[in-house]
Chain A
């Protein structure tokens, strides 16, 4: 019996199980690397905690208090044991559970990443649809997009700040709150959206160029297929041909590739949060790494990796829904 004769759900349990197993493995490897790399970085948390002028005796005291004088393998196994029970440990610096710190910061990072991802995907696909040309006359568009994609996000951020914040005064330079305001808090969602506009744009521009490049290439490829000629022969408009036929068939690999960009956006948010002084997970990761706050850095790596793996798994499943052949191949 060939794959075409299998029921539509045939490959699903295998696909889901395999993805989850691979995901767990990836989280374990990444988390272990995170733990070991921070440990291997020169210097320890004691100097970071006590200040540059701390005396040797104090440094030893703190090193002992946090158990950092024990063998690395022992520290790693203890940490892994706690992790298996869902305990991310306690931050050296904040003296608070790492899970609490992450939960406090995650909303800011999500408020930055999700709009950036949606914006980059929507604008990228729209650009790809317009620029796709089966006869390759719009190659220059690809050149421009590749150029934009090569600009690092911190440079994009600087340009946006110079033009829209300092030049035109439309947006603030930094921060989620107005420090001069008596309450010091975010007045409403609209203000928050306004304050996040430049950071979201700075994060989205690069991803948008990437998605547009991919979409343009995939749609152009579809436009060269014979079924497109059939669609045109039915009298469909060019827009309808592109949207309903070419894009629909180009979608499964596009969804997968956009899903992969989620990881890149997680990385990009570290830079953007630092530049725009947003108190998100990226900032927490950087300040914790500088303070050699090992449990916090390792905890963020675990959570970020788990989210990336989860998103990629969901994306794979969505791709399988869009193109049932994927699940069947997995069976």
Chain B
């Protein structure tokens, strides 16, 4: 009897496993509808860093490498690469059989042209973060590209994915003004999906690239990017099955999706950036915020755990160091532990700084600039600083107004910025603390922080490939930053992406999220 039961159990387990296998095997075909919050405007990702554009273009183009969920480089247009022992030459071998969507063969000349004529001139992050490190790009043959560097540039491989460095076709862009090229609206890439149609403010449709160079991919037949500017409409459309994927879901909306046939995944990276930290920048060009004790007082008046709980709804972590915990090898755990919430200490520091309370209890009024989307952070900060006698005057500005106000006119006391640090401190931390990044470059050193020692440490870490030397330099820099306080690093914010359960193998941490995705039914 017992053996009989065992046999039955074994048989049913085998059947269940078989059924599971059949149900979970990737199937070709089907459409995925993805919500995007704004119209992309055009589809040339080499001349703009705008999020909605990259959300769409990431499926049309490729980078030399792809980044996996941990931010590690994986083959994309380059099938392999080799770094010279001195770190000054990186040789890429390009994948075989790659063709542009119009049938033209993809060669190393496309890569050289793409970097030299498009990315280094027009893509703001490639121009600022990569171009200064590259001395020359050599193309010894059609399938080999060599990056010759001025100095070792350890972040190079993490700056070559489809978001940071999409490769565009030389045969369509050579000799033209890339801002007005007709291909910006009829893009031709090498990516898993080909452009089909674009109706402004409504939707962009991409169809499967049957000649994609990665065998068996992509699996979906169509991708439709629906422009849905209202977050509530996005969630409603997901629940109604009209939309399959939301790339960004607010913590509040995640609550609404609980118990629904929807998968929600928290990641530290998304098409818009990786390892993002909500940061309060102090304008060090203004006398009051240049005073260290004032900055210390602000930090002690702020209850960061409450910000995480009430605004981010627990979707992330209280920042414990200037470099995000997602960049674990460079992160210095506990660097900000002395920043405990202590209103009494904040009051004493303000007294010491000479900011006495006026008749109405006010010590100082600070302008706080922020994107409208960060209004809840601004409101809670206002409430938390009020007992210390600091009045925050909230000035919500959209990007077109925020950037010149903070980085050109420097017309602010405090600015709330979500700094995405990327996969390496060279990508997103150097720009906010190095003195060479002070100036009218958007989302650079907003504080206007200049410190020779921090510069030296970042230069050291950025010009060697020795991981131990780099990690130690970054840790020392973080100790100094925690003491100098050019910024208050508040909360590490995670992204939540949501998709309907009948879709599988989405990669929400990448701009090329649908390359392997497929539909269960």
Show the binding face of A for B, using Cβ within 8 Å: 41-45, 47-56, 58, 93-95, 158, 161, 165-166, 169, 172-180, 182, 184, 274-277, 279, 283-284, 286-287, 290-292
Contacts and interface: CB of A to CB of B under 8 A. Distances in A.
Given A53-B442, A179-B31, A274-B229, A184 B404 contact: no
A179 B243 contact: yes
B49 A184 contact: no
A68 to B, nearest CB: 12
Contacts of B237: 173-175, 277
Contact of B203 (A55, A182, A184, A287): A184
B233 A41 contact: no
B31 A43 contact: no
Contact of A47 (B38, B224, B403): B403
Contacts of A53: 49, 124-125, 128, 442-443
B243 to A, nearest CB: 7
B205 interface: yes
B400 A292 contact: yes
Contacts of B228: 174, 277
20 contacts: A43-B397, A43-B400, A43-B405, A47-B403, A48-B399, A50-B48, A53-B442, A55-B127, A56-B439, A93-B41, A166-B240, A172-B242, A175-B237, A178-B242, A179-B203, A179-B224, A287-B38, A287-B39, A287-B201, A290-B398
A292 B203 CA distance: 21
A73 B229 CA distance: 34
Interface of B is mostly: mixed
Contact of B233 (A56, A58, A173, A286): A173
Q: DSSP majority for the A interface? A: loop
B122 interface: yes
Nearest to B203: A179
Interface string B201-225: 1110100000000000000001010
B440 interface: yes
B400 A291 contact: yes
Interface of B: 31, 33, 38-39, 41, 47-50, 53, 122, 124-125, 127-128, 180, 197, 199-203, 205, 222, 224, 226-230, 232-233, 236-237, 239-240, 242-243, 397-405, 407-408, 439-443
Contact of A180 (B33, B41, B200): B33
A49 B53 CA distance: 11
Contacts of A44: 400, 404
A277 B233 contact: yes
Given A166-B240, A184-B224, 10 more contacts: A42-B397, A43-B405, A56-B407, A165-B240, A176-B202, A179-B224, A179-B242, A180-B33, A277-B226, A283-B229
Given A179-B243, A276-B233, A43 B398 contact: yes
A233 B153 CA distance: 99
Given A180-B31, A291-B400, A52 B240 contact: no
B399 A184 contact: no
B404 A42 contact: yes
A177 B203 contact: yes
Given A42-B401, A52-B50, A53-B442, A174 B233 contact: yes
A58 B125 CA distance: 13
A42 B405 contact: yes
Contact of A51 (B124, B398, B402): B124
Contacts, number: 148
A240 B405 CA distance: 66
Which of A45, A51, A174, A279 lies at the interface centre, i.e. has the most chain B CB atoms within 10 A of its CB?
A51
B49 A51 contact: yes
A43 B197 contact: no
Contacts of B442: 47, 52-55
A41 B398 CA distance: 10
B241 to A, nearest CB: 8
A127 B39 CA distance: 41
Contacts of A172: 240, 242
Contacts of A165: 236, 240
A42 B442 CA distance: 16
Contacts of A51: 48-50, 53, 124
Given A184-B203, A277-B226, A161 B236 contact: yes
Given A42-B405, A166-B236, A184-B224, A55 B128 contact: yes
A56 B441 contact: yes
A225 to B, nearest CB: 49
A54 B49 contact: yes
Nearest to A278: B202
A279 B228 CA distance: 10
Contacts of B203: 177, 179, 184
B187 to A, nearest CB: 15
Given A179-B31, A277-B233, A173 B53 contact: no
B239 A47 contact: no
A279 B50 contact: no
A48 B39 CA distance: 12
A158 B232 CA distance: 9
A286 B229 CA distance: 10
A99 B228 CA distance: 24
Contacts of A54: 48-49, 124, 442
Contacts of A274: 229-230
B233 A47 contact: no
Contacts of B232: 158, 275
B65 to A, nearest CB: 21
Contacts of A47: 399-400, 403-404, 442
Nearest to A105: B201
